[in-house]
Amino acid sequence: MTFLTLLLQAAPADYTQFLFPIAIAAVVYFFMIRPQQKRSADTKKFRQALAKGARIVTIGGLHGLVIELTEETVVVEVDRGVKLRFDRSAIAREVGTKAAEAAV
């Protein structure tokens, strides 16, 4: 066999050995990294869009009504006259809006 024949026979094996790690990296990116980045961006948008009067739940499970907002904090009324100050990052989700839309 000539050198050129050996080189042509070895070439496809060289390319395929790089295909598997690239495929694994693509699967990891599209099924693990990208969805997490999307969730993180959605959470950041939600926290920036908070408004007075929203019913929220904190990451600790405390339910309340937003009565005051600043750049970094949120004042939540959990009962009549009981106001607590939280970082915006402590707000997990808003409640009541989707339930009200579903009922209508």
Residues paired with 79 in a beta bridge: 82
CA-closest candidate to residue 75, choices 96, 60, 94, 90: 90
Using DSSP's 3-state secondary structure scheme, residue 53 falls into: coil
Both tokens of 23, joined, read 């495929």
Return phi, psi of residue 12, to 5°. -60, -35
Can you give the pLDDT at residue 98?
53
Residue spans of the domains in the chain: they are 1-49, 51-103
Can you give the pLDDT at residue 15?
72
Return phi, psi of residue 65, to 5°. -115, 130
Can you give the pLDDT at residue 2?
66
Cα 54 to Cα 66: distance, rounded to the nearest angstrom: 5
Cα 96 to Cα 94: distance, rounded to the nearest angstrom: 7
- CATH number of 51-103, picked from 1.10.3720.10, 3.40.50.10600, 3.40.720.10, 2.30.30.30: 2.30.30.30
Q: Please list the rounded mean pLDDT of every run of 10 residues in the chain (104 residues).
A: 60 72 92 95 93 95 95 95 95 75 44
Can you give the pLDDT at residue 58?
95
The amino acid at residue 87 is D
